[in-house]
Chains A and B, each alone.
Chain A
Amino acid sequence: MNIKASRKRFKPLPYILIFPTAVFVALFTAWPVILSIYQSFFLQRMNIARFREPTFIGWGNYIDLFSDPYFIQVIKNTLLYIIGTVPISIVLGFLFALLVNRKVRGIGFFRLAVFHPMVLPMVSAATIWLFLFTPDYGLFNAALRFLGYSGPENWTGNPSLALLSVVIVAVWKNSGYYMVFYLAGLQNLPSDVYEAAALDGANGWQTLWKITFPLLRRTTIFITIVAFIDSFRTVDHIFVLTSGGPSRASTVLLFDLWLERFEYQDIGISAAITVVFVIVLLAFTVTNFITSERKEV
């Protein structure tokens, strides 16, 4: 019997099977992008009667956006947030994985201790940290005072510390998650390389930096992508801890998008921010794709 021929008879079937998925992707991923591009060329504000009907203004929204010092501040905050969370969480994840990957009694408790924040909702994690950050009797300040710190104590309410407090919560929550990927990578490493290294008299540090870390390069790339995208799409803790303040010191891109659309009811500007957002994400994905392709050759 000809198997190829019998498969060929099912011609329309694959399209029917993919149809449900494609419809939802079209409706909630493709269409919103198109709609945003369109709306970003119109002035439309739902909370001002005479601007409720859309008026075409060309690039107006984009010009407004990039000439607004407030939006520049938002971009700066977003970059600072990414720089503050992504590298540190990845390094901690790697360190945790090295520590967990040992045959020691009680290591299960260590794994549980560093991984459990991952399972908490971000809003719960943030509420817990709001409690820790409490100025007078919060544990966080108590610990810092113990270490000799005597600076400002109102972390979430201080313009120069608010963003840092948001970063701390994200690092605490995510490091254990990245650990899991490194742990999987470590456990799949070929043991003969290590035996050879041991025979050559390589010490612990040499093995770590010359063998383990390079062998885990693909894992590191993967975790970097995950961490980067996550740093863009999670703002739950900002709602709980700082509401983007004080004086917008902890407002990042997605939080700003929420503000413009749902607080200021500005359809045009929020559409323009959405377009900028999508371009950044796509640019990141394409760059990643190109660089990883190049390395495969």
Chain B
Amino acid sequence: MDSSAIRKTLGQIGHWITNFLSIFLALLWSVPVIWSIIASFRPANDAMSRGDVWFSNTLTFENYTRAWSLAPFGQYYINTILVVLLVLAVQLITIVLAGFAFANYEFFGKGWIFFFVLLQMMIPTSALLAPNFSTIRILGIFDTRLAIAIPYFGSAFGTFLMRQAFMSVPHDLVDAGVIDGCSWWQLILHVYLPPSIPSLIAFGLSSATWHWNEFLWPLIITNSDKSRTLTAGLVRFTQLGEIGAQWSLLTAATLMVAAPLFITFLIFQRRFIQSFVHSGLK
């Protein structure tokens, strides 16, 4: 065999190894969720310990209905959705306004104010949960949905992202808007926002994902089911004495908590991944 033939054979082998590695890793990474989905549809008395950990004779929806009846998951859903929407609605206003101010104007103290806002990116809110707990107490909103959402109403990350997006809008466009007599909010609506929609969507998706999944802050700031979110509710549910190690029930509850976001992700997979890149790299 001459050297080019050897090269070709080696390349072929390398190709097979890469494919094998890909399939192996893909299986390894997806087994946990797949196994949980299967377990959640197995009858509760069909205990894993009796042998077959993968298959069952019958499949049932009963675990989901039982989990639903054992804890107020409906209320948790409402709370989570309201918190996510509330955070998002306020953030979209605050970050657009602040991002616009930083991108469009020169003013005294701009650099220092920008640095001050960016502090929030350097010190994650979770590090400050003890003093923030006291603040919420003083504000008198402990155990409300507002208390879960309020620390996130201003977003350094979002402000930064919008400032970057607005700064890449061509100056000529802005100047033309000013000459046409646009007021500042018309400037935002008609000149700055239209080309920045991808950034806004990217921020919105990562914010919604983050707040749907957040656990520690909702856990400490809520005390009753009227404001508890899905994640905090799930952990409480797993610790209920009567549930113990009923895995079919636990996996059903776990998947129920993750499902809405997860299904949205499956449908808009590309959009999600692009958004994560976009919000991370800008």
With contact pairs A35-B131, A113-B30, A136-B49 given, residues A20 and B175 touching in the complex (Cβ less than 8 Å): no
- Pick from B130, B155, B234: contact of A36, CB under 8 Å: B130
With contact pairs A14-B101, A35-B131 given, residues A25 and B156 touching in the complex (Cβ less than 8 Å): yes
- Pick from B216, B262, B276: contact of A177, CB under 8 Å: B276
Give B95-128 as 1s and 0s: 1 = Cβ < 8 Å from A's Cβ atoms. Answer: 1011011101111001001001101101111111
Task: Evaluate contact between A121 and B247: CB separation under 8 angstroms.
Answer: no
A233 to B258, alpha carbons, bound, how many Å? 21
Is B56 close to A, CB under 8 A?
no
- Pick from B26, B97, B120, B235: contact of A110, CB under 8 Å: B26
With contact pairs A23-B154, A110-B26, A274-B128 given, residues A30 and B116 touching in the complex (Cβ less than 8 Å): yes
- Pick from B102, B116, B127, B134: contact of A35, CB under 8 Å: B134
A205 to B67, alpha carbons, bound, how many Å? 52
A137 to B212, alpha carbons, bound, how many Å? 31
Task: Evaluate contact between A258 and B18: CB separation under 8 angstroms.
Answer: no
Task: Evaluate contact between B101 and A20: CB separation under 8 angstroms.
Answer: no
Closest chain-A Cβ to B149's Cβ sits at a distance in Å of 11
Segment with Cβ contacts to B, from A3-11, A64-72, A80-88, A148-156: A3-11
Contacts of B122 on A, CB cut-off 8 Å? 281-282, 285
Task: Evaluate contact between B107 and A14: CB separation under 8 angstroms.
Answer: yes
Task: Evaluate contact between A139 and B128: CB separation under 8 angstroms.
Answer: no
A278 to B130, alpha carbons, bound, how many Å? 13
**Chain A residue nearest to B230 in the complex (CB):** A121
**Chain A residue nearest to B188 in the complex (CB):** A17
A261 to B49, alpha carbons, bound, how many Å? 40
Interface residues on A, range: 35 or more
Is A197 close to B, CB under 8 A?
no
A142 to B48, alpha carbons, bound, how many Å? 13
Contacts of A257 on B, CB cut-off 8 Å? 127, 129-130
Which A96-129 residues sit within 8 Å CB-CB of chain B? 96, 99, 102, 104, 107, 109-125, 127-129
Contacts of A164 on B, CB cut-off 8 Å? none
Closest chain-B Cβ to A33's Cβ sits at a distance in Å of 7
Closest chain-B Cβ to A226's Cβ sits at a distance in Å of 7
Contacts of B155 on A, CB cut-off 8 Å? 21
Closest chain-A Cβ to B200's Cβ sits at a distance in Å of 16
A21 to B235, alpha carbons, bound, how many Å? 32
Is B196 close to A, CB under 8 A?
no
A180 to B98, alpha carbons, bound, how many Å? 29
Closest chain-B Cβ to A173's Cβ sits at a distance in Å of 10
- Pick from A25, A111, A271: contact of B131, CB under 8 Å: A271
Closest chain-A Cβ to B26's Cβ sits at a distance in Å of 4
Task: Evaluate contact between B124 and A17: CB separation under 8 angstroms.
Answer: no
Is A167 close to B, CB under 8 A?
no
Task: Evaluate contact between B265 and A116: CB separation under 8 angstroms.
Answer: yes
Is B133 close to A, CB under 8 A?
yes
Which A129-178 residues sit within 8 Å CB-CB of chain B? 129-132, 134, 136-137, 139, 142, 172, 176-177
Is B231 close to A, CB under 8 A?
yes
**Chain A residue nearest to B183 in the complex (CB):** A10
Which A18-38 residues sit within 8 Å CB-CB of chain B? 18, 20-25, 27-33, 35-36
Task: Evaluate contact between A99 and B25: CB separation under 8 angstroms.
Answer: yes
- Pick from B19, B97, B156: contact of A20, CB under 8 Å: B97
Task: Evaluate contact between B154 and A229: CB separation under 8 angstroms.
Answer: no
Is A51 close to B, CB under 8 A?
no
Task: Evaluate contact between A236 and B216: CB separation under 8 angstroms.
Answer: yes
Closest chain-A Cβ to B32's Cβ sits at a distance in Å of 5
Contacts of B245 on A, CB cut-off 8 Å? 134
Is A215 close to B, CB under 8 A?
no
Task: Evaluate contact between B134 and A232: CB separation under 8 angstroms.
Answer: no
A15 to B97, alpha carbons, bound, how many Å? 10
Is A56 close to B, CB under 8 A?
no
Is A48 close to B, CB under 8 A?
no
Task: Evaluate contact between A18 and B101: CB separation under 8 angstroms.
Answer: yes
**Chain A residue nearest to B39 in the complex (CB):** A131
**Chain A residue nearest to B153 in the complex (CB):** A24
Task: Evaluate contact between B98 and A254: CB separation under 8 angstroms.
Answer: no
- Pick from A96, A129, A184: contact of B32, CB under 8 Å: A129
With contact pairs A121-B213, A258-B129 given, residues A6 and B119 touching in the complex (Cβ less than 8 Å): no
Is B82 close to A, CB under 8 A?
no
Is B254 close to A, CB under 8 A?
yes
The 5 tightest CB contacts between A and B, nearest first, are A24-B154, A32-B131, A121-B213, A113-B26, A17-B101
Given A110-B22, A131-B36, 9 other A-B residues pairs in contact with their CB atoms under 8 A: A24-B151, A32-B135, A35-B131, A115-B273, A116-B30, A119-B258, A119-B272, A121-B258, A236-B215
- 23 A-B residue pairs with CB within 8 Å: A1-B179, A7-B178, A17-B98, A24-B150, A24-B154, A25-B116, A31-B135, A33-B128, A110-B22, A113-B25, A117-B29, A118-B276, A121-B215, A121-B257, A124-B255, A130-B238, A137-B49, A137-B53, A180-B273, A240-B235, A261-B129, A271-B130, A278-B123
